[in-house]
A = this chain, B = another copy of it.
Amino acid sequence: MFQVPRGTRDFIPGEMQKRRYLEQSMAATFTSFGYGEIRTPTFENLELFAAKSGESIINELYAFTDKGGRKLALRPELTAPVIRCYVERLQMEPKPLKLFYFGNCYRYDRPQKGRYREFQQAGCEIIGADTSEATAELLALAFTLLKNTGLKNIQLQIGNLTLISAILKKLHLLEDDQKRLLPFIDKAQFDDAKSILRDCNVKENDAERFISILQTSDTNEIRRFIADDTQAVKELDAMQTILSLLSNAFHISEYEIKLSIVRGLDYYKGLVFEIDAPILGAEKQLCGGGSYELVSIFGGSQVPTSGFAIGFDRTILALEEEGFTFPPLKLDVFIIPVNQDMVTTAIQIAQNLRSHGLSVDFEQLRRGIGRSLKYADAKHVERVIIVGPKELEKNTVTIRNMKTGNQETVGIAEIYAKLTTPDM
């Protein structure tokens, strides 16, 4: 027997319904913020991802060679393809350019709980705007997008790579030591970070103060620490403007400053952020983003870019954990022709109700009423229409409410009106 490939999944209708709901909710929010949808190919030239993330990424890719000898790879993420498309086709468009997308991504690592080799992301990029109002809007969009899906408890955490660099500079670390340190900071493993600092002969006092700055959300404390670095002070001012817009203009106050966010990606610059769903425990990050520089690496003219990506799987998990009620898979009406002579009428009724936008099916296996009703029940149908010879003689049918068990005889011309009354 054939099986679904390792690390991938089929989504059957009950599962697809949740993904569709999420996609539609997110598309509506992106559109309301003036974003337009973009879609790039499932695979790209392998070098595109190496140019963005370094050669080491290649080990994590689904890579293959095509007949023309081209090295291709299934995309591991969507920012590089979107920026490639921007450089190739969209540089002359009026700025800012606001693009959103949904797409499957592929990662060639060992499958584990909640991590798949094929997974869906939603995301966006804003190209050509880095004012504080543009950045505040990007943060607000990420937050609103997740809130609008129905999530109750999410946390927006905002870091800044310019500030963390200024703070690190004070420790006078070698570049290699800094590289060794950052992953522990990003994972908030501060004890491990401290022992690296000890190895590097950083004074205990300085190390303590450094770690405490990374954990504070008090901007005054940060300001005192970086007071002698004018560039860092300017960056902190800009960040405070962004945060005050977030509070006062976008009315979003569920955020905190978290300087330990590093995001592990070399191409991020300045502001970075993450959104967590605490209900998910260790694997709680739903969204990550920030400002980055990629356009010039891909051969385009320098322009500010920022964006974020949201994972579908964790967002659905978080909604499920919070007890969110997804819109149900529904079949509005099931029609049962009592015998073969009734089939034409049954179909005509079905077609009429479908043209009104209802989801309608009819008995197609010629089962008796009992077994047809059982099928309707298995499909969670609320209303069943029975087309029988006696009723049909009088141009009527029987409508049965499967929840209440109520039955009523209704004229064929009145079926739709009857179905839309609350009592039936």
Q: How many copies does the complex hold?
A: 2
A125 within 8 A of B: no
Q: Mark A1-24, 1 if CB is under 8 A from B, else 0.
A: 111111011111110110110000
Chain B residues with CB under 8 A of A90: 12
CB–CB A37/B10 < 8 A = no
A235 within 8 A of B: no
Chain B residues with CB under 8 A of A72: 5
CB–CB A67/B364 < 8 A = no
- Min Cβ gap A373→B in Å is 12
**A245 to B43, alpha carbons, bound, how many Å?**
45
Which of B2, B14, B140 is within 8 Å of A88, CB to CB?
B2
CB–CB B40/A16 < 8 A = no
A/B interface sample: 11 pairs, CB < 8 A: A2-B88, A4-B84, A5-B70, A6-B68, A10-B89, A14-B36, A16-B37, A16-B39, A19-B39, A251-B348, A251-B351
In the complex, which residue of chain B has the Cβ closest to the Cβ of A366? B131
Which of B3, B47, B249, B364 is within 8 Å of A129, CB to CB?
B364
CB–CB B8/A41 < 8 A = yes
CB–CB A40/B361 < 8 A = no
CB–CB B62/A37 < 8 A = no
- Min Cβ gap A355→B in Å is 8
CB–CB A364/B4 < 8 A = no
**A3 to B299, alpha carbons, bound, how many Å?**
11
**A274 to B62, alpha carbons, bound, how many Å?**
36
Chain B residues with CB under 8 A of A378: 94
Tally of contact residues, A, Cβ under 8 A: 96
A354 within 8 A of B: yes
Q: Mark A352-389, 1 if CB is under 8 A from B, else 0.
A: 00100111111011100000000100110000000000
Chain B residues with CB under 8 A of A96: 364-365
A118 within 8 A of B: yes
**A41 to B74, alpha carbons, bound, how many Å?**
13
CB–CB B133/A347 < 8 A = yes
In the complex, which residue of chain B has the Cβ closest to the Cβ of A81? B10
**A98 to B359, alpha carbons, bound, how many Å?**
13
Chain B residues with CB under 8 A of A26: none
CB–CB A359/B66 < 8 A = no
A57 within 8 A of B: no
Of A27-35, A278-286, A398-406, the one touching chain B: A27-35
Name the interface residues of A103-139: CB closer than 8 Å to any CB of B.
104, 106, 108, 118, 128-129, 131, 133-134, 136-137
Contact A20:B34 (CB < 8 A) given known A2-B51, A10-B88: no
CB–CB A13/B41 < 8 A = no
In the complex, which residue of chain B has the Cβ closest to the Cβ of A361? B34
In the complex, which residue of chain B has the Cβ closest to the Cβ of A82? B10
A48 within 8 A of B: yes
A331 within 8 A of B: yes
Chain B residues with CB under 8 A of A66: 6, 62, 108
CB–CB B64/A360 < 8 A = no
Name the interface residues of A55-95: CB closer than 8 Å to any CB of B.
62-64, 66-68, 70, 72, 74, 81, 84-85, 87-90, 94-95
Name the interface residues of A243-262: CB closer than 8 Å to any CB of B.
245, 248-251
CB–CB B42/A104 < 8 A = yes
